[in-house]
């Protein structure tokens, strides 16, 4: 499961360089500390070996869908079945993307006392989530791009917190994943594996992240340990 994530970089030059796009593509970008399902973010795709940035809503809606009622159920796609389920099958073959982030949240602990954790790279660099995208006709002649994040079993770092984690692609693998001319998409399932054990660290963060309306740097402050 990946139900919230962040992209907090405020250096547009550095972000554009990391994503391989022109800085002008980030004209509407602002740092986000609590990106939630059904909210807008953006996806990276390639076309004729050129990277493109597209605004998209989190929660995949198939192009043949009559409405967006299933979007909240399609924020994640399991790596194990992504090529089989009708909701994701066509997108897996033809519409693969990368979702940029610099961390994601998971909650852990007993019911009623669950604590949020921010999981991010030890070096602070970007996370490139493997994803799928679709464009469905929201209104006559008006199309909206939507996306889902692919998840896989956890690595050792994540296993103590949650039984799933987003698929995080290395930069070189992201190119292969996004290639729309890939003739054998099933070969790409080799990329849908847990992240290396030493890539991520976990950090306790403020319970303010529990509420989607909160979206600021204060969410990443580590709360004091409670004394029982």
Does 152 participate in catalysis according to the annotation? no
Nearest to 75 by CA among 87, 67, 90: 87
- DSSP letter for each residue of 120-174: EETT---EEEEEEEEEEEEETTEEEEEEEEEEE---HHHHTT-S-EE-B--HHHH
Does 24 participate in catalysis according to the annotation? no
| 86 conformational bin, left if phi > 0, alpha if psi -120 to 50, beta if neither | alpha
Nearest to 6 by CA among 137, 177, 120: 120
**Main-chain phi, psi angles of 55, to 5 degrees:** -65, 135
**Which of the following is catalytic: 25, 74, 97, 106?**
106
Q: Tokens 């500390």 — which residue?
A: 33
What 3-state class would DSSP assign to 110?
coil
**Which of the following is catalytic: 2, 25, 74, 97?**
2
**Quick count: other Cβ atoms within 10 Å of Cβ 95?**
21
Report CA dihedral (131, 152, 118, 175) to the nearest 10 degrees: -40
Return the active site residues.
2, 106
């Amino acid at each position: 499961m990946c139900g919230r994530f962040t992209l907090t970089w405020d250096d547009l030059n550095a972000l554009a360089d990391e994503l391989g796009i022109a800085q002008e593509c980030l004209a509407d970008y602002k740092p986000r500390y609590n990106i939630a399902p059904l909210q807008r973010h953006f996806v990276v795709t390639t076309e004729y070996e050129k990277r493109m940035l597209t605004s998209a809503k989190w929660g995949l809606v198939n192009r043949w869908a009559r409405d967006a009622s299933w979007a909240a159920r399609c924020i994640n796609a399991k790596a194990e079945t992504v090529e089989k389920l009708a909701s994701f099958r066509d997108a897996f073959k033809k519409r693969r993307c990368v979702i940029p982030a610099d961390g994601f949240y998971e909650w852990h602990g007993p019911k009623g006392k669950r604590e949020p954790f921010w999981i991010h790279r030890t070096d602070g660099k970007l996370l490139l989530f493997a994803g799928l995208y679709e464009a469905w006709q929201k209104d006559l002649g008006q199309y909206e791009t939507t996306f889902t994040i692919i998840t896989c079993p956890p690595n050792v770092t994540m296993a103590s917190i949650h039984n799933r984690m987003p698929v995080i692609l290395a930069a070189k693998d992201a190119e292969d994943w996004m290639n729309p001319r890939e003739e054998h998409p099933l070969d790409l399932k080799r990329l849908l594996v847990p992240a290396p054990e030493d890539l991520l660290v976990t950090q306790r963060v403020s319970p303010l992240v529990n509420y989607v309306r909160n979206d600021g740097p204060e969410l990443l402050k580590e709360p004091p340990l409670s004394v029982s």
